[in-house]
A and B are shown apart, each in its own frame.
Chain A
C-alpha cells in the first residue's frame, strides 16, 4: 500500500472561489465539446440565422429599406434594424437559457447534491456557468456582427464598438440577475422551459427586438420597464445612420439602476429558493 497523500486543509478563500469559477468554466466547455454535432450546428448557425430575416424583409417591403419604417425610427434600413435586435436578443436569451437551465442539468446528471454538499456556494458555480455561456454567446455575436457588417452596410468602428460593449455589458449584468433567479426556480419547480419561453415572448412583444415599440402606445409604455429596450434603442442609435439620437449617459444610469434591482433581487430569490429546496428535500429530484 502506498503512503497516504493527504491535502492540507485550508478552507475556502477568494482564490479558491476563483478556482471554482475556472473549474466550472472548463468543465462546462469540455462537456459542450463532447457533443460534436452541437459544435457543427453552432458553427453554421450564424450563417443560417440571417436568412429568414432577409427573406421576410424582402417579402414585406420588396427591398432592404422601407419609407414607413423610416418614419418611425429615422432609418429605413429595416434589415439592419431587425438584425441588430436579433443579435442582441440571441446574446441575452442564450445566457438566460444557459444559466437558468444549468442547475437543472446538474440535477439530471445527479451531481447537484454533491455541489450543494460542498463548501462552495452554488452561486459561485453559477458564475462559472455564466462565464462559459457569456464566452460562447460572445463568439456567436462576433460572427453575427461580421455578417451584418459585410452584407448590410453596418460599420463597426472603435468609436461605435466601445459604447456598444459598455451597453451590452450592463445589459448582461441585469439579465444574469434574471438568470440566477431562474436557476433558483429550477431547483424548486424542476422545470424551466415554460418560464424562459414565456419571458422570451414577453420581451419579444414589449421590447423593440423585431419592430419599433412606438407602433402601439401600450407596448411603448411597458417597454420602458425592460432593460433590453433601453439598450437596443441606444445601440441602434450608435450603429445605424439617421437613427433618432439618445442620451447615452441617461441610458447607462437607467441600466445601472435596473442591474442593481435585478442582481440583488435575483441573488436573494436564489438564496431563498435554495434554502427552501433544502427544507423540502427536493435538491436531487428532477
Chain B
C-alpha cells in the first residue's frame, strides 16, 4: 500500500472495496459478491481503463465511487477526501456518465436538461449559460439544442449525457461504457472527445469502464483487468501484451457446438474460450506454440463438426485478458460470481 503522503496525491484511491448484494428473503436469501476487495489508484490527469466482461463488477465499482452505492468494506478517497464522510466535496468533483440512453429528460430540450442539472451543482445565472453555450458548441449540438430529446438519435443523446457529465467542470470523470450501443461514427466521436479534449487538452482524470478491448487499448494509459469482482492486474496495455508468454492465438470457426473441454485437455493448450452465435462457434485457443497443437485440434474438431476457418493472429488485449483470467470479454459472468461467506 502507498504511504499516506503519497495516497493524498491520488485523484482516486480505492482501497479493498467490497460490495455484496443481498437478494431474496429467509432461506432463499442469496448474497452475491459484486466487488471483492478491489483496489485502484489513479494519478491526476490519468486516463485509466477498467476492462472486464459483462457482470465483472465494473459498474458496481463505478457506482461506489460516484457515492451511489455504499460499500460494505473498504474506503474510497477522491483527491484525498473520503467519498462518504465528505460526500459533498467528492460529488462536486466527480462527473458521471452511465451507459444507456434513458438517463435524461426526453420531454425537455438539451438546453433545458443541462440547465436543470447545472442547478444541482450550484451553477446559476450567466456563468451557467456561458458554460452551457460552450458545451453545446463543443459537442456539436447547436442545431438541435432547443428540440426535445425524444427526437434525438442515441448518439446525440449520449453527447448530451457527456455534456452533463462535464457541466460542472469536474476533476474526476467516471465514464461507464460510454460508447455502448452507439453506431461507429458516434462511438469514434465519443472516443476522440474523451482522449483529445477531456484528457489531453483539459487534463481531466478519467476512469473508463468498457468491455470493448479496442476502446481500452486505444484510449487508456493503464488498464485494470476486473473479473468476478476482483481486480486481476493493473498495467499499461503494451506491457500486458509484452508479458504474455506466447505470441500467437489460434482463431477457429466451426459449425455447431463442439466439445471444448476436450480441446482444453490437449497437451500444450493453455486456455480455450468460445462464443456461439447463429450456429457458428468461434474458438480462441491460447497455446505457447500454436503450430505444435494445430494438428491435434483439427483432428478433434473434424470428428465433431465442420471447420469453417482457421487463423493464427498476434495476441490482442482481449487475448491477454483471456490468458490472465480464463474468461472471454464477450462472456456474461454475472451468473458465476462467488457467493459471499
Interface residues of A (CB under 8 A from B): 1-2, 4-13, 15-16, 19-20, 22-24, 27, 30-31, 34-35, 109-111, 113-120, 275, 278-281, 283-284
Which of chain B's residues have a CB closer than 8 A to the CB of A31? 105, 107-108
CA distance A70 to B287 in the complex (A): 95
Which residues on A sit within 8 Å (CB–CB) of B130?
5, 7
B271 within 8 A of A: no
Show 18 residue pairs from A and B whose CB-CB distance is below 8 angstroms, ordered by the A residue: A4-B134, A6-B131, A11-B88, A11-B122, A24-B119, A30-B107, A30-B108, A34-B107, A113-B68, A114-B164, A116-B67, A117-B91, A275-B70, A278-B68, A278-B69, A279-B70, A281-B34, A281-B69
| A interface SS class | loop
Known: A23-B115, A114-B164, A119-B91. A7 touches B128 (CB 8 A): yes
Q: Which of A8, A12, A114, A116 contacts B88 (CB 8 A)?
A: A12
Q: Are B105 and A113 neighbours in the complex by a CB distance under 8 Å?
A: no
Which interface residue of A4, A5, A119 has the most chain B CB atoms within 10 A? A119
Nearest-neighbour CB distance to chain A for B12, whole angstroms, equals 15
What distance in Å separates the Cβ of B308 from its nearest Cβ neighbour in chain A?
41
Given A117-B66, A278-B68, residue A5 in contact with residue B134 (CB < 8 A): yes
Q: Is B273 an interface residue (CB 8 A)?
A: no
Q: Is B103 among interface residues, defined by CB-CB distance under 8 A? A: yes
Assign chain B's interface to a size class: 35 or more
| Shortest beta-carbon distance from B124 to chain A in Å | 5
Give the contacts of B101-121 with A (CB-CB under 8 A): 102-108, 112, 115-121
Identity of the chain A residue whose Cβ is nearest the Cβ of B134 in the assembled complex: A5
Select B63's contact among A6, A35, A281, beta carbons within 8 Å: A281
Decide if B145 is an interface residue (CB 8 Å cutoff): no
Q: How long is the Cα–Cα vector from A76 to B87 in the complex, in angstroms?
A: 60
Residues of B within 8 A of A113 (CB): 63, 66, 68, 96, 98, 103
Q: Which residues B292-327 have CB closer than 8 A to chain A?
A: none
Q: Decide yes or no whether B54 CB sits under 8 A from chain A.
A: no
Nearest B-chain residue to A32, judged by Cβ: B107
- Evaluate contact between B92 and A11: CB separation under 8 angstroms: yes
Chain B residues with CB under 8 Å of A110's CB are 100, 102-104
| Residues in chain A near residue B188, CB distance under 8 A | none
- Is the beta-carbon distance between A119 and B105 smaller than 8 angstroms? no
Contacts of B128 in A (CB 8 A): 7
Cβ–Cβ < 8 Å partners of A35 in chain B: 107
